[in-house]
Amino acid sequence: MIIVKRKPLEEILEMTKDFKKLLILGCDGCASIIQVGGERQARILKLLLEMGQKIKGNGKLKAQAISILRQCDRQIATSSLDPIIAEYDAVVSLSCGVGVQTIADLYKGKLIIPAINTHFLGMHDTKAEKFYEMCLACGDCLLFETGGVCPLTRCAKSLLNGPCGGQASGKCEVGGWQNDCAWVLIYNRLKARNQLDLFGKFRMPRDYRVSGHPRELGGEKENEEGKT
Amino acid sequence: MRREAHSKLMKQINEGNFVFTGELEPVKTTKLDEVIEGARILKDHVVAINITDNPTAFGYMNALVPSYMIQREAGVEAVYQMTTRDRNRLGLISDVLAAGALGIKNILALTGDHTTVGDTPQAKPVFDLDSATFVYMLRKMMDEGVDLNNNQIEDPPKFSIGIAAAPNADPLEPELLKIKRKVDLGIDFIQTQCVYSAEQAQNFLEAASFLKTPILIGIAPFKSISMMDWMIKFVPGIKVPKEIEEILRKAKKIGGKQAVYEANVEIFGEMLKEIRKTTTAAGIHTMAIGFEWIVPKIIERAGL
């Protein structure tokens, strides 16, 4: 899922200080699953902003907290927001950057204020205490040959032909020897499966056009292999 | 497969001579005097000198200029170190062509330490290529006379290509398999990070013998105790035997800086002698940054 984190309250207060009627918009997608941007968090943020602006002497803020199923879905967003959005001066979005931009695109005259920083595509550990980046959305998946470990994402240098000399006992020098060396993980997985031939394979320079910004997908006619 | 040697370094290795190489570090300066002076000190004792490329991700003078200058001013062959950390493939092609134009004979193809371990950790790391894909590009440029997209190169360059190896890597097998990829692509020699005993060298050389590629064993004497402590703490894969550590610390206590130098000559002289006698190393790569004068003394002590 998309891993997000709420911005510091001070920053959100500063961005919202000129508005009297705010819609605090939660998202029940990824942001809600990791308990950063769901309905509950929207309600908490509403209270914090109302209190904060009062303390700062910015006058009385009237905010309403709601949550919608997905901010990144145009249909869901319009059916929920069309009837009510005109009542508000601005929207504070508790969604990832995709959600914020979808709402901003739907309501171009309205200011959409991001209350969240979008970090990465990741998963959490077994205790759900920490999140780990897993995928760069590179558009050219090679997990089949790397034992289900993405070197582009999990190697600090995104090496296609690792490991480098910066690993010791399977740990990476980047980040002070805390993180696993992705290439040692790959080696261990492939070795256990008797697939070291895949480890030894030389991987050609990547075509970075595949992941060059801004990317688009679909709209073209695809042939039988699914390639355009 | 043995390729044609394009450098004095490779010719000597191919002729079976036990070679010595040196290393110089152009730092954060616009002055070339120190590098040229260092090259003059090393000149009669080594066959070639590495010029480092923003080592440990510190922003220093571009390595190509001093590589050229030590050849021109000191008359000693350069091993131009190139990392893929700071340039994308376009930048690498430019610099490789420029190196060819300036008569550089050796390139050491490196991935490079990560930007975050250096003196400008906010920098965007490039790593468009890694050391393997860089070797692939170099071979294409040299052997086929084209770049990665098969565009013709007028008067393609000729280099001998080296790569680095981490002899104390743990686990070692992925390191060896990684080197094997590059050996298969076509490299001429391997240069190791520093070892601190003949045994470390021997173990690696035995494990790497299947690569059938000349290996220069890296040694790095300690300029000071604080440098030793820094290396032990921060450089991955450095394994300094307790005995060496103690001898150097004792030397410092009793006789200060000069005694540390003398202890270095003794320790590394003995180690070299042992490596020469008991291993299949093709030579020794010496890294004595800032005290190059110690290299001839160590070689002399080893009786080589």
Interface predicted TM-score of the whole assembly (ipTM), two decimals: 0.95
Whether residue A165 and residue B193 make contact (CB cut-off 8 A), yes or no, is yes
Total number of domains constituting chain B: 1
Report pLDDT for A129. 81
Average pLDDT, chain B: 96
Q: What is the distance in angstroms between the Cα of B283 and the nearest Cα belonging to chain A?
A: 21
Question: What would the pLDDT profile of A139-182 be if each residue is shown by its tens digit?
Answer: 999 999 999 999 999 999 999 999 999 999 999 999 989 999 99
Whether residue A187 and residue B131 make contact (CB cut-off 8 A), yes or no, is no
Residue to substitute from B111, B116, B141, B179, interface A, most A β-carbons within 10 A: B111
Whether residue B181 and residue A175 make contact (CB cut-off 8 A), yes or no, is no
CB-nearest partner of B178 from A162, A173, A208:
A162
A21 and A108 both lie in a single domain: yes
Report pLDDT for A210. 93
Residues of A in contact with B231 (CB under 8 A): none
Assess whether pLDDT exceeds 50 at residue A228: no
Query: What CATH number does residue B111 fall under?
Result: 3.20.20.220
A116 and A192 both lie in a single domain: no
Find, in chain B, the residue whose alpha carbon is nearest to that of A199.
B177
Q: What is the distance in angstroms between the Cα of A209 and the nearest Cα belonging to chain B?
A: 12
Whether residue B178 and residue A205 make contact (CB cut-off 8 A), yes or no, is no
Would you state the torsion angle of the CA atoms of residues B64, B66, B69, B70, taken in this order, to the nearest 10 degrees? -120
Give the whole-angstrom CA distance, residue B223 versus residue B226.
Answer: 8
Q: Is A144 part of a structural domain of the chain?
A: yes
Assess whether pLDDT exceeds 70 at residue A227: no
Question: What would the pLDDT profile of A66-103 be if each residue is shown by its tens digit?
Answer: 999 999 999 999 999 999 999 999 999 999 999 999 99
Query: Angle B173-186/A182-192 helices, nearest 10 degrees?
Result: 90
Give the whole-angstrom CA distance, residue B275 versus residue B260.
Answer: 22
- Averaged pLDDT for residues B161-179: 97
A113 and A140 both lie in a single domain: no
Q: Is B140 part of a structural domain of the chain?
A: yes
Q: Is A153 part of a structural domain of the chain?
A: yes
Q: Is A210 part of a structural domain of the chain?
A: no
Place of tokens 């695809």: A222
Assess whether pLDDT exceeds 50 at residue B25: yes
A164 and A56 both lie in a single domain: no
How is chain B split among helix, strand and coil, in percent rounded to 5? Answer: 45, 15, 40
Question: Number of A:B CB contacts under 8 A?
Answer: 94
A112 and A170 both lie in a single domain: no
Q: Is A14 part of a structural domain of the chain?
A: yes
Report pLDDT for A126. 81
List the end-to-end C-alpha distance of chain A, in Å, as a whole number: 27
Q: How many CA atoms lie within 13 A of A124 on its CB side?
A: 12
Q: What is the distance in angstroms between the Cα of A153 and the nearest Cα belonging to chain B?
A: 13
Domain with A150, as residue range(s), is 136-200
Domain with B269, as residue range(s), is 8-301
Q: Is A172 part of a structural domain of the chain?
A: yes
Give the whole-angstrom CA distance, residue B298 versus residue B294.
Answer: 6
Assess whether pLDDT exceeds 60 at residue B1: no
Q: Is A37 part of a structural domain of the chain?
A: yes
Q: Is residue B110 left, alpha or beta, with left meaning phi > 0 and alpha meaning psi from -120 to 50? A: beta
Q: How many CA atoms lie within 13 A of B37 on its CB side?
A: 8
CB of A164 within 8 Å of a chain B CB? The answer is yes
A148 and A58 both lie in a single domain: no
Q: Is B1 part of a structural domain of the chain?
A: no
- Averaged pLDDT for residues A117-144: 93
Q: Is A128 part of a structural domain of the chain?
A: no
Read off the pLDDT band of B204 (50, 70, 90): very high
Read off the pLDDT band of A222 (50, 70, 90): low
Provide the percentage of residues in chain A whose pLDDT is more than 90: 92
Determine the residue type at B159: F
Q: Is A214 part of a structural domain of the chain?
A: no
Report DSSP letters for A110-138, one per residue.
SEEEE-EEEEEEEEE-TTSS-EEEEE---
Q: Is B3 part of a structural domain of the chain?
A: no
Query: What CATH number does residue A16 fall under?
Result: 3.40.50.2300
CB of A159 within 8 Å of a chain B CB? The answer is yes
Average pLDDT, chain A: 94
Q: What is the distance in angstroms between the Cα of B301 and the nearest Cα belonging to chain A?
A: 31
Would you state the torsion angle of the CA atoms of residues A150, A154, A160, A164, taken in this order, to the nearest 10 degrees? -140
